[in-house]
């Protein structure tokens, strides 16, 4: 931005060169999802650059603790206990406060609590697999959960999804709506995953990978991982092979 120029409320254009192609045949679902026509660009509308607004009153007392928010009294979810934390930033590295983050995941065995999940791994009766939180003034967020397991999926015969946590983020405007997922540092399944292989920029894959954070690990309790999320811009966090809110 030029010196002295006042920044408008509109968001910067997408950097399409950073994102994967919508059509990647090795990721079979993209064949059905890819658009049949060329993109059409429009200027941001007022509704895209304003709202929605969320408050702390939406949250329950254990919404950001997946180890207990579905568990019976005195019980806890089974699995490796972890803390996921980071900051939500905009394209100019400014914190995005009071933003709603929703997250969902498979259990430690790699199974979702969903009627359409046919994986043979057992369900954990004390794990629901979803939660939410609101970012603080400095854009920070944190929640507790268990590390999810990898699971097979019917893509290429013997494909497995890396362990991951899904995120849904509402920023300062609807144009900042983002749905993405977080992988874990050191997971060997990341480079083998056909979805990840659609991303040609190694830095973009790194940005989707949470880093082990021993400084915030709680001894004898939970390992910490840091995952910063950037909304709308050249360094925005990706959503697989689709430009969802970017």
Could you list the active site residues?
112, 151, 161, 164, 166
pLDDT per position as a tens digit, 218-230: 999 999 999 999 9
CATH architecture of 16-29+52-231: Sandwich (2.60)
Question: Model pTM?
Answer: 0.85
CA 15 to the chain's CA centroid: 19
Express each pLDDT in 72-128 by its tens digit. 999 999 999 999 999 999 888 899 998 999 999 999 999 999 999 999 999 999 999
| Domain residue ranges of the chain, discontinuous segments joined by + | 16-29+52-231
Residue 68, number of CB atoms within 10 A of its CB: 17
Backbone angles phi, psi at 105, to 5 degrees: -165, 165
């Amino acid at each position: 931005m030029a010196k002295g120029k006042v920044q408008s409320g509109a968001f910067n254009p997408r950097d399409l060169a950073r994102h994967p192609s919508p059509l990647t045949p090795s990721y079979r679902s993209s064949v059905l999802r890819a658009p049949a026509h060329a993109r059409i660009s429009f200027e941001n509308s007022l509704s895209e650059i304003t709202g929605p607004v969320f408050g702390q009153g939406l949250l329950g007392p254990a919404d950001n603790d997946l180890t207990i928010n579905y568990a019976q009294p005195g019980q806890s979810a089974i699995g490796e206990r972890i803390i996921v934390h980071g900051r939500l930033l905009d394209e100019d590295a400014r914190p995005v406060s009071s933003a709603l983050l929703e997250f969902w995941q498979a259990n430690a065995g790699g199974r979702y609590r969903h009627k359409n999940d046919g994986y043979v791994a057992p369900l954990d009766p004390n794990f629901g697999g979803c939660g939410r939180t609101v970012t603080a003034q400095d854009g920070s967020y944190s929640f507790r959960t268990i590390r999810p397991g990898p699971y097979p999926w019917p893509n290429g015969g013997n494909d497995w999804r890396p362990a991951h946590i899904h995120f849904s983020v509402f920023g300062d405007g609807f144009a900042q709506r983002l749905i993405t997922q977080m992988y874990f540092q050191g997971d060997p399944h990341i480079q083998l995953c056909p979805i990840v292989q659609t991303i040609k920029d190694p830095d973009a894959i790194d940005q989707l990978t949470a880093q082990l954070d021993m400084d915030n690990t709680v001894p004898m309790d939970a390992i910490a991982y840091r995952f910063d999320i950037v909304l709308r811009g050249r360094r925005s966090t990706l959503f697989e092979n689709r430009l969802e809110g970017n």
